[in-house]
Amino acid sequence: MSRAPLTVQVELLQLQPPGWTFPSDADTYDGAKLLGWANELSLVETSMEALLPQVDQRVAYNLLPDYQRVLGPDPCGRDLSALSFGDQAAIAYSRWTAGGTVCAGSLVRIAAALGIAATVTEVQPWICGVSTCDDEMAPAGTNFMFVVNLPQSSATYFECGVADCDDSLGTIEESLAQCPIEHAAPLHTLPIFSYTGP
């Protein structure tokens, strides 16, 4: 908690060595001399106290550039300067708090930290003697695949008469959550992204 200038002045006077050369009275020359220091120390403490809520990157209006500097370049290669403050803060928060166990729930939490609702569907292969006749047939190795369902982002579709012959049939803008989830997924897994909504 920050201190008032007069409180700091009294504490500075008490730190002086004992003796008649250094009186501990605030109304002396030494007291007036230390009041300037006390004002500055009080100002520093007040500004530091104002920064305390910015420990959370999502509200780090003054400290976000410092967090981004400490975190280093974005591993997904995104141009953060082109994003809004809210998106930059959400990315910094998700990178700062990332780590630990990786499971379907942790991937959903990565998306949630970016403000994106997501669900994860785990694909199970068909196993003889365990699966039933109405289970979907999935090839072997799909037990290492999972589908991440994300909200539909902006999409551009091919239009006859408008698009050129060499244009793609459509593009979907990648979600902010796709790259962090790809980086967080264990190496032996394959995340498939579906932009149909959670």
**Domain shared by 131 and 194, yes or no:** yes
Q: Which two tokens stand for residue 12?
A: 């500075």
End-to-end CA distance of the chain: 44
What mean pLDDT do residues 186-191 have?
82
Q: Are 146 and 121 in contact (CB under 8 A)?
A: yes
Q: Which two tokens stand for residue 144?
A: 């290492």
The answer as to whether 75 is a domain residue is: yes
**Backbone φ and ψ of 57, nearest 5°:** -60, -25
**Domain shared by 73 and 152, yes or no:** no
Instruction: Give the position of tokens 């990157």.
Output: 57
Confidence of residue 139 (pLDDT cuts 50, 70, 90): low
**Domain shared by 118 and 88, yes or no:** no
What mean pLDDT do residues 132-158 have?
75
- Domain with 9 in it: 5-53
Rounded to 10 deg, the angle between the 104-113 and 85-97 helix axes is 150
Q: What is the dihedral of CA 129, 130, 136, 142, to 10 degrees?
A: -110
Q: Are 150 and 123 in contact (CB under 8 A)?
A: no
SS3 content of the chain, % helix, strand, coil (to 5): 45, 10, 45
The answer as to whether 139 is a domain residue is: yes
Q: What is the dihedral of CA 155, 159, 163, 168, to 10 degrees?
A: 50
Q: Which two tokens stand for residue 65?
A: 């550039």
The answer as to whether 102 is a domain residue is: no
User: What pLDDT score was predicted for residue 147?
Assistant: 87
Q: Closest Cα partner for 10 from 40, 31, 37?
A: 31
Could you tell me the pTM of the whole model? 0.58
> Do you know the residue count of the chain?
198
**Domain shared by 120 and 181, yes or no:** yes
What mean pLDDT do residues 128-149 have?
75
The answer as to whether 115 is a domain residue is: yes
Domain count, the chain: 3
Lowest mean pLDDT among 41-55, 62-76, 92-106, 123-137: 123-137
Range ranked top by mean pLDDT from 87-101, 107-121, 160-174: 107-121
- Per residue in 20-39, pLDDT (tens digit) is 777 778 888 888 888 888 99
